[in-house]
Amino acid sequence: MNPQAAQNYLRTKVLTATPEQLQLMLFDGALRFGEQARVALNSQNYEQSFLLITRTQKIVNELLCTLKHEIAPDLCPKLAALYSYAYRKLVEANINHKIEPLDEAINVLRFQRETWVMLMDKLAKQKAGIAAQKIDVPLPDSRMEATISLQS
């Protein structure tokens, strides 16, 4: 796929995604850049690792800035602490060219991603249940039961 087509595909994917899917895309991007940064650090390509860790930091900062404290006042401070911790570990990895703090940040993000996927699954089941309750399916009557035969 040529770069322009890939860019158009990504743009369409982002513009048509639900807020939940956008959040998942942020986690995926942060993890992808973090893993690539680990490879760059292992090969002592510090310029590349700097760029990749910085991209990861920007995503973590976005996750931190988009918390809605008015909606979840009990949860948001805890998430903010996790994201801040991950951000500090990314800074430490970038400054010291160390893999260990990078791995700590990646582990936090991976855990958050897994948690987010479980939440999305739960929400999807709830939405499906609500939608199923709204479907107007007629109850079987004697005419319907007379036409149903279990014999071949």
Q: What is the pLDDT of residue 78?
A: 95
Q: What is the pLDDT of residue 27?
A: 97
pLDDT, the chain, mean: 88
State pLDDT tens for residues 74-102.
Answer: 999 999 999 999 999 999 999 999 999 99
CA dihedral 67, 68, 69, 73 (to 10 degrees): -100
Per-residue pLDDT 10s for the chain (152 aa) are 787 776 776 677 776 778 888 999 999 999 999 999 999 999 999 999 999 999 999 999 999 999 999 999 999 999 999 999 999 999 999 999 999 999 999 999 999 999 999 999 998 888 777 777 777 766 666 666 555 556 55
> Cα–Cα distance between 9 and 14 in angstroms, integer?
9
> Cα–Cα distance between 88 and 61 in angstroms, integer?
11
Crossing angle for the helix pair 19-42 and 76-96, nearest 10 degrees?
Answer: 20
Q: What does each C-alpha distance from 130 to 123, 125, 126, 133, 138 come to in angstroms?
A: 11, 9, 6, 5, 17
Q: What is the pLDDT of residue 81?
A: 97
pTM recorded for the entire structure: 0.78
Domains in the chain (CATH in brackets) are 8-135 (1.20.120.340)
Q: What is the pLDDT of residue 149?
A: 59
In the block, residue with structure tokens 């939405």: 127
